[in-house]
Amino acid sequence: MKPKNPISKIQRSGNTPLHREAERRIRSLIAEPQYRAGALLPNEVSLAENLGISRHTLRLAIGRLVNEGLLVRTAGLGTRVCQRPVRTEGNAWSSFTREMARLGIEVVNFTARADWELPPAEVADKLGVDPDTPVLRLLRVRGWEGQPTVVAESWLAPSLGLTGDEDFSAPLYETIQRRSGVQPVRSEEEIAVTLAAAQIAAMLALKPGAPLLSRKRLVRDSADQVIEYNLNSYRADAYVLHLHLEAAPE
């Protein structure tokens, strides 16, 4: 029977080990809304005292929940419920906004800025432009539920005829199609794990050196012309890319 207050003194009964009963109590505790929303659990001293057990026994209980992926410990901060990362399919490409909408997630732009800039050598090479030719760079910090999740840097081909004054709060590819009549049909992607540089870390509310999922995307239209080179940096704790692969026939 579930106690009204999960964190009350444990009464020894039967053969159930104390750490197992403590684990059950903590499972009930973390089901409460404030902890599901990200609030820190009470500290170990108060939890152990209220449950009437040793800190060693408490750590055994919490350790099992950490190993299950239900809790996460952060040195110097505390323990909280592990927020499940969003998982998307790598074999079904579309705009990020539409991709998330299918999962019931509303994406918001924390920052959206479009400027004409000279492209780095890598960008100029991918777009097939001269490094001295200004290119429209769209920088957006995007996320959901109040948390910035991805820094999206889009370099847009001059051939699209965009001015930089477009409404970039709308899905990007819909804006491109509406203004230029060009529809993206294919992308080539490169995915890697990187460490957050100071600037990107600040945008994503992370510490410098935190792990990121880096996703570079070269987008082409129906005529096989490159229309965008996109560099995305995702929080590794908030986004999972799922790939479905099949063996090639021999």
Q: Where residue 170 sits, what CATH number does that domain have?
A: 3.40.1410.10
The percent of residues above 90 in pLDDT, for the chain, comes to 45
Q: Where residue 59 sits, what CATH number does that domain have?
A: 1.10.10.10
Overall domain count for the chain = 2
By CB neighbour count within 10 A (0-12 exposed, 13-18 middle, 19+ buried), where does 94 fall?
A: middle
Same domain, 116 and 61: no
The CA-based dihedral angle spanning residues 52, 58, 64, 68, taken in that order and rounded to the nearest 10 degrees? 90
Same domain, 160 and 200: yes
d(Cα 214, Cα 195) in Å, to the nearest integer? 9
Phi/psi zone of residue 132: left (φ > 0), alpha (ψ -120 to 50 degrees), beta? Answer: alpha
- Give tens-digit pLDDT for 164-186: 999 888 888 889 989 899 988 88
> What range does the domain containing 36 cover?
18-81
Average pLDDT, the chain: 85
CB atoms within 10 A of CB 205: 14
The domain boundary residue, chosen from 49, 64, 81? 81
- Give tens-digit pLDDT for 69-82: 778 887 777 888 87
Same domain, 59 and 111: no
Which of 40-49, 103-112, 138-147, 213-222 has the least mean pLDDT? 103-112
Residue 171: the pLDDT is 84
Residue 94: the pLDDT is 58
By CB neighbour count within 10 A (0-12 exposed, 13-18 middle, 19+ buried), where does 51 fall?
A: buried
**Is the pLDDT reported for residue 130 higher than 90?**
yes
Same domain, 104 and 186: yes
| 238-247 mean pLDDT | 65
Same domain, 107 and 218: yes
